[in-house]
Structure 1
Amino acid sequence: MHIAVWSELHCPWALLTVDRLRQARERHGLNVVFVPRAWPLEWVNHHGTPRHIVAAETAALGTHEPELFLRFTGSSWPSTFLPAFELVAATRRTHGLRSAEDVDYALRLAFFRHGVDVSIQDGLERALELAKDYGAQLNTETVLTEWLRGNPRSDVVDDYVESGLLPIQGSPQVFWPDGTTTHNPGMTDHKWIGDHVELRSTDPGAVERLLLERCGD
């Protein structure tokens, strides 16, 4: 069973949702793949996301899941996240959807937990090694060759074009097998106050409930 997750790779809300989906799958032994779909905000918004925006959102979410957000980037702030999206596409081409999911997750953790610049090749290679730590069966050389020579950017473009036909409210947007969709499950009740994000109420169990309602036996 496939569940599509449309999101931006440097979106902390998306990391939270993906992590909760993966944990719920493990707890309940579900046979489901969370298919990563590219929704690059630098194309959606026609500019990169300012660092202070990501920092404020990360600080707010870090109070709920501190282990996910230990450290996002050091001195090297990615100028673009397109290479990371391309790496996920290259993995999908060479190793299939589940491996692409694992690499997508590893890229998010590399950025938010380990401070890796995922816009450069060294950072992408580190993310591939992290994916192996989380159980992905990967041939790193095969993925990197496809990333360097196979034009995986075209797959990212295809996703972006398709996203324009879908009711995407923001990152993340989960599309369930029954045709319904949920934006940022359990975390939508928040607002910006100046340069800070106020989480007015949260529902940490929303992701798991939705997953079981739509995919459980």
Structure 2
Amino acid sequence: MTAADAPLPGTLQVWSDIACPWASLAVYRLRAARERLGLELDVRVDHRAFPLELANGRPVPPLADEAVQVLALEPGFGVRPWSGEHGEWPGSFLDALGAVSAAKDERVGGLAASEALDWALRRALFVSSRPVGTAQEVLAVAREVPEVDADALAGLLDAGREAVRRDFGLVGELGIEGSPHVLLSDGTSVFNPGIGDDGSDDPGVWDELLRRALAPEG
């Protein structure tokens, strides 16, 4: 791991796959807690890739039905069943993950653009049934995100895909258990925050994680 890979103070590093319903639940709750605490300008989100297809060695299976159940925990997300209107469920999300990584480039919009694109892709998938597995559909979503320069992003998708594979190469070293997993600069490392193996659910964990991200080191 290089210094560039380490979480920075004031940043929540979120490792996940856009296809993962539990990750979208986590991101929704993170964003809601940050807004409620008035920390939108103080705590940023650095999205890193935990590609399920590389972890499992096979295409991502349809997760739309699971998403309806999982995201029903937060009605504000607005999850809907997969309509099939725009196509079949995509088996690969490397282009989507790569675009989120590439959007961190200042020519595209930086970390704010990356976070906005990640959120837009999750909602496109689980609310609008858009098959965001192709570069074409990813860029179509990107053009709807004000923070993103989609033309600049189009030229960086190859680099983004390389970044996804590099991220995946770090998961063992960093102890990333799956999607979602949160790292903070103080050493906090949490898999699927608030969700217990016993079925317990504590959304309030995000308040504490945000406060830890905000606190100065030392």
Same fold (TM over 0.5): yes
Question: In the TM superposition, what is the alpha-carbon distance from 1:104 to its structure 2 partner?
Answer: 1.2
Report the number of matched residues. Answer: 200
Q: Deviations over 1:33-89 (max 9, x none)?
A: 1100011011111112322xx245313213312342224462411021111111112
Q: Deviations over 1:7-41 (max 9, x none)?
A: 11101111111111112222222211110001101
Aligned equivalents of 2:135, 2:165: Cα separation in 1: 20
Query: Percent of pairs identical after alignment?
Result: 35
Alignment-derived partner of residue 6 in structure 1: 15
2:103 is equivalent to residue 91 of structure 1: yes
**Aligned AA for 1:168?**
I
Alignment-derived partner of residue 128 in structure 1: 142
Alignment-derived partner of residue 82 in structure 1: 94
Unaligned runs of 5+ in 2: 1-9
Question: In the TM superposition, what is the alpha-carbon distance from 1:172 to its structure 2 partner?
Answer: 0.3
Partner of residue 51 from structure 2, selected from 40, 56, 71 = 40
Partner of residue 119 from structure 1, selected from 129, 133, 138 = 133
Q: Aligned pair in 2 of structure 1 residues 47, 152: CA closer, same or farther (>3 Å)?
A: same
Question: In the TM superposition, what is the alpha-carbon distance from 1:122 to its structure 2 partner?
Answer: 3.5
Q: Secondary structure at the match of 2:122?
A: helix
**Bigger Cα displacement from structure 2, 122-131 vs 24-33:** 122-131
Q: Aligned pair in 2 of structure 1 residues 188, 131: CA closer, same or farther (>3 Å)?
A: farther
Aligned equivalents of 1:176, 1:126: Cα separation in 2: 32
Alignment-derived partner of residue 209 in structure 1: 208
Aligned equivalents of 1:174, 1:160: Cα separation in 2: 15
Aligned equivalents of 1:79, 1:62: Cα separation in 2: 20
Q: Secondary structure at the match of 1:131?
A: coil
Q: Deviations over 1:130-163 (max 9, x none)?
A: 433xxxx22221112222xx53221111111112
Question: In the TM superposition, what is the alpha-carbon distance from 1:214 to its structure 2 partner?
Answer: 4.2
Alignment-derived partner of residue 197 in structure 1: none
2:166 is equivalent to residue 158 of structure 1: yes
Q: 2:46 touches 2:111 (CA, 8 Å); kept in 1?
A: yes
Q: 1:73 touches 1:112 (CA, 8 Å); kept in 2?
A: no
Alignment-derived partner of residue 196 in structure 2: 188
Q: Secondary structure at the match of 2:12?
A: strand
Q: Aligned pair in 2 of structure 1 residues 115, 2: CA closer, same or farther (>3 Å)?
A: same
Aligned equivalents of 2:95, 2:168: Cα separation in 1: 15
Alignment-derived partner of residue 4 in structure 2: none
Question: In the TM superposition, what is the alpha-carbon distance from 1:126 to its structure 2 partner?
Answer: 3.2
Question: In the TM superposition, what is the alpha-carbon distance from 1:169 to its structure 2 partner?
Answer: 1.8
Partner of residue 138 from structure 1, selected from 137, 148, 152 = 148
Q: Secondary structure at the match of 1:3?
A: strand
Alignment-derived partner of residue 21 in structure 1: 30
Q: Secondary structure at the match of 1:182?
A: strand
Q: Aligned pair in 2 of structure 1 residues 188, 170: CA closer, same or farther (>3 Å)?
A: farther
